[in-house]
Every structure is written in structure tokens, then in C-alpha cells.
Amino acid sequence: MKLYSYFRSSASYRVRIALNLKGLSADIIPVNLVKSEQKDAAYTAKNPQGLVPSLEIDSTTGSMVLAQSLAIIEYLDELDSSVPLLPSDRDGRAIVRSLSQLIACEIHPLNNLRVLKYLTGELGVDEATKNAWYAHWIHEGFRALEAELNKHAGQFCYGDTPTMADCCLVPQVFNAKRFEVDLSAYPTINRIVTNCQSLDAFIQAAPANQPDAPSA
């Protein structure tokens, strides 16, 4: 398997965590979003969306490329069930998918790199206004997420083992802290992230530990 990734991409970070939790290996192929390498013809031939991550796989039907981080994680969960990232029961799976989509489909898209670049570029928004936009949508999403987690969390987002929801949460918190958003109002989120970050699977997936991360 090959994972086309950018070290600071939240969506790529999710998939790296999932791979590590499952003990699956993939060659990391860096795609520099700042340099717009995701728009190169060679890459868009693989993923016409021009986004990361992409997972290139040799499957039983031949080589294929999967896009969209949640679809990739669910594929990995079906590929190797030894360390499940979705619960075994129908209700649990629905809850974990709901938590994951709250982060990946509601919070993240409003704050990803291409949106922020459009705000400061085409729309001419200044840095302070961009950061206010970013913080507003983090707080909107995290207030709802905190309430949901208070219903379902144990040590992790759902119970006492990491799931796909934790794969989504940790990158989003990393991103929020990078933009200096005050997260003190979300004790359950912070507690879960602390538990996650004690595990090697999360540590090794962190942006600072990626081959394309700038050297210190």
C-alpha cells in the first residue's frame, strides 16, 4: 500500500493513526499542499479531487486508489478485523460514524487549507479575520462534540478502546492548537486526546514524526 499524505493534513493524519492502530504498513508518499503538488497532473490522474489522503492498493480486482479518509479507514477496517475501529454492534457503529462525521464533515471542511487560502487570497480577508473564522467554527463544532462525547465516552470517544472517532479527533485538536484556539471549555475532549497521545499509534502518526515534516 502507498499512502499519499501531507504531514499537517488532518485527513492524512487520521489515516496514519488508523494504519498504526491496526499494525498495517504503507509507504508514505509526501504531497506538498503548500507547493500545490496535489494539483499536478500525475497526482490528479490518481485522485481527480486533488486532495490528500489517497491510498493506493493492490486489491483482488487490481490496483485501485481510494480517496476520502473515512472511506479509507472503513476499508482498512474490513481489510483487517483484528483491531476493529468500529464497534461490533449496529448501534455502536452508528454512534462512532456520527462522531467521526461531526468532525470530518462539519468542522474540518470549513477550516482546511484550501478554504483558508481562499479567504486570504480571493476574498482578501486579513489574518485576524481568518483566525476568527477558524476559531468560530471550531467552537461551534466542539460544543456539540463535547456534549455527544459526554454521552458515549470512556477512556476514548466511544468506550475504552480507540475507534475511528479518535482517529478524527486528535488531528482536529492538533489543528486547533496550531491556530491557538482556547480549548479549555472542553474537558472531555482534552481528556480523550491525552489518553490517545499516550499510545504509540498516535505518537508515530503525529505530524512532527512524518518524513515530510520540516527538520528542527
- pTM for the whole thing? 0.95
Angle, in degrees to the nearest 10, between helices 187-196 and 127-152: 80
Predicted confidence (pLDDT) per residue in 182-203, tens digit: 999 999 999 999 999 999 999 9
Predicted confidence (pLDDT) per residue in 90-106, tens digit: 999 999 999 999 999 99
Under a CB-based contact definition with an 8 Å cutoff, are residues 138 and 144 in contact?
Answer: no
* Domains delineated in the chain: 2-82 (3.40.30.10), 90-201 (1.20.1050.10)
Which pLDDT score, from 0 to 100, does residue 61 have? 75
Which pLDDT score, from 0 to 100, does residue 216 have? 44
How many Cα atoms within 13 Å fall on the side-chain side of residue 27? 6
Under a CB-based contact definition with an 8 Å cutoff, are residues 165 and 103 in contact?
Answer: yes
pLDDT over 70, % of the chain: 100
State whether residue 67 is helix, strand or coil: strand
